[in-house]
């Protein structure tokens, strides 16, 4: 089969709390199965067609990085939306998740335009939502760590990634965590999230691969270590 392509958006700007671990996880799970693949780095200002990728990953970042990335995303918004509509799989975490909504309004009233993949908007709140999180989702239980000041509100028709049973989730006042549009998944889960949630990692690969590759069935891997890590994280206060 042809190479599976993982695109890492803004690797030098949006990599807080080890979010690059998500890219490493996807790459290793392909390597362990003997599936040819490559990772394309897509820095701010680069000319890259996301329609050529199978899975796109973007992480969280500090405020100054998020501002820079927001301007870049607006420039490539049409290409992002085309890729989402075409079935490319996306995982966007924290700051990137916020910018995939309609807008981000900081606590001082300043505003960053989003690209509207999710029917959602984020406003800066007082204090930060910090701690371990458990989310019940269509992909089973997801565990991770959140640390965000923004409160994200989903539109009435916007699907969430899952329901929080521990932690704050999107805004601390409801049970929603994350958002899903087509094969684009937004979440506040750091950790990074995919190493402790191998089923979710494989679902991203399967969804991304089914568009351009004939093989969409992934062989089983021994995930005993990953499952143990997830169980341990779920018991932490």
DSSP, collapsed to helix, strand or coil, labels residue 151 as strand
Annotated active-site residue 94? The verdict is yes
- How, if at all, do strands 55-58 and 4-9 pair? parallel
Q: Which residues contact 207 (CB under 8 A, 6 or more apart)?
A: 87, 89, 183
Q: Tokens 């699907």 correspond to what residue?
A: 159
Enter the tokens of residue 24.
Answer: 């490493």
Confidence at residue 237, expressed as pLDDT on a 0 to 100 scale: 77
Confidence at residue 233, expressed as pLDDT on a 0 to 100 scale: 86
Q: What is the mean pLDDT of the chain?
A: 94
DSSP, collapsed to helix, strand or coil, labels residue 181 as strand
Which helix (H) or strand (E) is 94 found in, with range? Answer: none
The topology (CATH level 3) of 4-234 is Rossmann fold (3.40.50)
Most confident of 43-52, 56-65, 212-221: 43-52
The residue from 8, 37, 148, 190 that is catalytic is: 190
Q: What is the pLDDT confidence band of residue 215, given thresholds at 50, 70 and 90?
A: low
Does the pLDDT of residue 8 top 70, yes or no? yes
Does the pLDDT of residue 186 top 70, yes or no? yes
Q: Tokens 């701010």 correspond to what residue?
A: 44
Annotated active-site residue 184? The verdict is no
Q: Of 52-66, 170-184, 203-217, which range is least confident?
A: 203-217
Does the pLDDT of residue 220 top 70, yes or no? yes
The residue from 8, 37, 94, 184 that is catalytic is: 94
Confidence at residue 28, expressed as pLDDT on a 0 to 100 scale: 98
| Torsion angle in degrees (nearest 10) through CA of 229, 231, 235, 237 | 50
The alpha carbons of the chain give a radius of gyration, in whole angstroms, of 17
Confidence at residue 70, expressed as pLDDT on a 0 to 100 scale: 94
């Amino acid at each position: 089969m042809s190479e599976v392509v993982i695109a890492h958006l803004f690797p030098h700007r949006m990599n807080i709390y080890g979010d690059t671990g998500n890219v490493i996880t996807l790459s290793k799970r392909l390597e362990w199965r003997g599936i040819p693949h490559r990772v394309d780095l897509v820095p701010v200002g680069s000319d890259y067609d996301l329609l050529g990728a199978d899975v796109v990953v973007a992480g969280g970042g500090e405020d100054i990085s998020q501002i820079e990335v927001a301007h870049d995303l607006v420039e490539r918004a049409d290409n992002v939306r085309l890729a989402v509509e075409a079935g490319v799989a996306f995982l966007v975490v924290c700051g990137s998740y916020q910018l995939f909504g309609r807008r981000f309004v900081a606590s001082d009233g300043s505003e960053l335009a989003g690209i509207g993949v999710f029917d959602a908007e984020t406003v800066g709140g007082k204090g930060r939502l910090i701690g371990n999180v458990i989310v019940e989702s269509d992909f089973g239980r997801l565990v991770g760590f959140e640390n965000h000041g923004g409160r994200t509100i989903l539109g009435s028709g916007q699907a969430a990634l899952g329901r929080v049973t521990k932690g704050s989730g999107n805004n601390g006042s409801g049970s929603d965590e994350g958002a899903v549009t087509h094969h684009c998944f937004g979440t506040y889960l750091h950790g990074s999230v995919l190493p402790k949630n191998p089923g979710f990692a494989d679902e991203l690969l399967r969804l991304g691969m089914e568009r351009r590759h004939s093989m969409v069935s992934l062989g089983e891997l021994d995930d005993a270590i990953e499952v143990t890590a997830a169980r341990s994280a779920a018991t932490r206060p």
